[in-house]
A = this chain, B = another copy of it.
C-alpha cells in the first residue's frame, strides 16, 4: 500500500507520515522500484499507535521514544505511564492558567460593557492599562 491509502487507513495526513519518518518517530518503510513508500498492515498499526499518543497531546519526543520501544519489541509500558503522568500534570496546569485567563477576559468584557452603557461615546481602552 502506498502513502495515500496508508494515510487514509491510519487517519493521518500523508505529509504527517513523511514528517514522522523524518523525525525518527516512524521507521523508514520499504520502497517500490519507483521509489514510492510501501506500507503493510503492521506499519499502519504503528501509525495508528502514534496517532493515538499524539491525540493525547503527548510531545513528539515522548511519542518517538514509545513508538521506538514498541518497534524494538520492548514493552513501552513504563514510558507510557510516565508520559501520561507528565501530560496530565501539564494539562492541569494549562487548564488552571486558561481558567484564570478566562476570568480576566470576562471581567474586561463586563467592564467594557458597563462603560459603553453609561458613557456611550467614551473610549474603553484604558482598562487595558489596569492589567499589571
- Known contacts A95-B95, A98-B91; A49 and B128 CB within 8 A of each other: yes
- CB proximity of A30 to chain B, nearest CB, Å: 24
Main secondary structure of the interface of A (DSSP, over half): helix
- B101 to A98, Cβ gap below 8 A? no
Copies in the complex: 2
Q: How many residues of A contact B (CB 8 A)?
A: 37
In the bound complex, what is the Cα–Cα distance between A33 and B50 (angstroms)?
A: 56
A38 contacts B by Cβ under 8 Å: no
- CB proximity of A46 to chain B, nearest CB, Å: 11
Chain A residues numbered 66-94 whose CB sits less than 8 Å from any CB in chain B: 70, 75-77, 80-81, 84-85, 87-88, 91-92, 94
CB-defined interface of A8-25 with B at 8 Å, one 1/0 digit per residue? 000000000000000000
Further pairs besides A77-B123, A80-B124, A88-B106: 19, Cβ < 8 Å: A49-B128, A55-B131, A57-B101, A75-B125, A77-B125, A80-B125, A80-B128, A81-B112, A81-B124, A84-B112, A85-B109, A87-B105, A88-B102, A91-B101, A92-B102, A94-B98, A95-B95, A95-B98, A95-B99
